[in-house]
Each structure stands twice: as C-alpha cells, then as structure tokens.
Amino acid sequence: MKKTYITVDIETIVSGISKNKNSLAGVYLGAMFIAHELRKRNLKATFFISLSSKQKSIDNTEYLDLIKCLVLSLKSFENIKIASHLHAFELPMDFECDSDDFGAYNQEQQVSMLRFSKDFFTDLDCDVDAFRPGGFRRNEFYYSALEEAGFKYSSTMSKNDKPNINLITGKLSNTNQVNCQGKVLEYPVTTVELMSIKKRVEIQNLSPDFLSIESVKPHLDNLEYININFHSFSIYLNRLVRENHTGLFWNNIRFLAIDKMLDFMANLFGIHTFKSDTIVKNSFLDWVEFLEEKKYETYFIGE
C-alpha cells in the first residue's frame, strides 16, 4: 500500500533576493491557507513550525507570539499534526545561537534547543514528537540528541542516496523509505534529480516550490512511499521561481522589475505587502487537487 506524507515547513523566507520579512504573510496566512485547502480535500499533513524568525530584521519575541497564535489556530484542524522545526538562529538559549545551521551545534546544545522546543509547544497544550532541522542540516549527534530530548520521529532529506525520481533518465528508486535510526524513525523527504534552471544537475525535494505536478505525475503511482514538502512562505509572498513551472520567465521578470521595487518602497513606510495570486500558490493547488483526484491515502509523520 502506498504511503503518502505531506509535510509543510512553516517559516519565513530568507533565500537570496527572495528574502522577505513579512512573517504574517509567510507564516500565519500561508499556513492557514494550506491547512484549510487540505481539510477541504480530507488530506492529512504534518506542519513543522520554526521557532526562529531566521532574520535579525524580525524581532524573535514578536515572531514567537505570532507562532503561538498560529498553533492555537491550527489546533482546531483535525487533519494537521503540529511538529517542531528548528532553524537555530537567535534562539533564546543560554549559549550563542549565531548560526542558523542546527548541525553546527554539539549534542548538548542540540538537546537544549530540542527541549526548549518541546516546552514551547507543551505550554500550548501540544505534545510534539516529530522534528525537522532547518535546511535538513544534521550532524553526527543528530539522532542521539533527538532520542535524549524525547523525540520519536524525524523527517530530513539526503542528497547522498539514490534519488527517488530521476527526471533526466526517467528511473525511479523505492529505496528511500521510513528507516530506523537507533530509537528514532526517519521519514525522508522524497528526492528528485533534474537539470536545473542553472543548467546543472541537482537533487531537489519533491515540492511545488520547484516542480509542477505535471512534471512528476507519471512517476508518482510507481513509488511506494511519497513525502512531499511544501513551504508556507510560498503562498502569499511572490519570489523567484525555479525549475519547470509554467510562466516561470515572466513571473521572475515581474518579480525583479516590479514586486521587489514596490516591496522596498512599502517597507520604507513600515508597510508589509503580500500577493494573493502567486505561481507557487497555484502550483500547490494543482498538487493537492491531484492527490484528491488520485485518492492517495495521506498519513501523519509517525503513522
């Protein structure tokens, strides 16, 4: 039986020129839109919620207040499982958190951050047992730290394994499935090898951020395990779009020539903008409509 997992990273966008400090649109509004669209289609998802704003320009205390509002709002969604997602930059710890890379910290520091995360969600009456490190970055302490901090499940991505979908050769691999790492179960994100917009071979996560459903649809029925990775910031914040989306060229020209300039001018007056019709939002809807039509059974991480 095919196992399909939808995982959503709830966080701000900081990548390159697409960087945007509108955490309300990137975190709260995007997450609620995704949760609502999934519920309409009876699709389950695990939301990995970041406890770091990732940017010096966003006050982390205000950001965590927004996250509290989000968690309380999501608790009414029976189709959403709340999980922890730690980008490590400027977390309120008793040691310096000057790196966003969770894998840059030793085991004792990782355990402290993980316990801080557990306590944060417990205070909101959410018992979290699944974790995803920011950027999927991990080191040799990762699974031991998870076990020590009381986490049962992890969901990361490896570029070292054979890709599940190779869009260059058309070959598939079912080897990247749920596996045991000590006492922690790992639910890896499905990987795709492709010729990127940069004209080089890359491995990306199976996500509407990079891929249209049309480009991978012929392959999904032949995979026994699928872990799709969405991002909340892609819904209402227009951005540079990569790989094979329809309208990619004109979207990126418009983003660079118009959207970024308008956003810059608005920020001068303390105004944060958001875009209600983005290319990735429409791609997300294509994906979930496909999953609904195919009647793929979706599960929470840990099921």
Domains of the chain by start residue, with CATH: 3-246+274-299 (3.20.20.370)
* Residue 198: Cβ-neighbour burial (10 angstroms; 0-12, 13-18, 19+): exposed
Per residue in 63-111, pLDDT tens?
A: 999 999 999 999 999 999 999 999 999 888 899 989 889 999 999 999 9
Identify the three-state secondary structure at position 13: strand
Q: Over the range 123-135, which residues count as b (16 or more CB within 10 Å of their CB) and which as e?
A: eeebebebbbbbe
Task: Identify which of 73, 96, 4 has the alpha carbon closest to the alpha carbon of residue 45.
Answer: 4
State both tokens at 2. 């095919």
Distance CA 202, CA 192 (A): 8
Per residue in 210-267, pLDDT tens?
A: 899 999 999 999 999 999 999 999 999 888 777 777 777 888 788 788 887 888 888 8
Confidence of residue 189 (pLDDT cuts 50, 70, 90): very high
Length of the chain: 303
- Asked if residue 10 lies in contact with residue 70, where contact means CB atoms within 8 angstroms, the answer is yes
Confidence (pLDDT) at 254: 83
Confidence (pLDDT) at 160: 82
Highest mean pLDDT: which range of 22-26, 45-49, 56-60, 84-88:
45-49
Give CA separation, 254 vs 68, 274, 280, in Å. 34, 15, 15
State yes or no: pLDDT of 159 exceeds 90: no
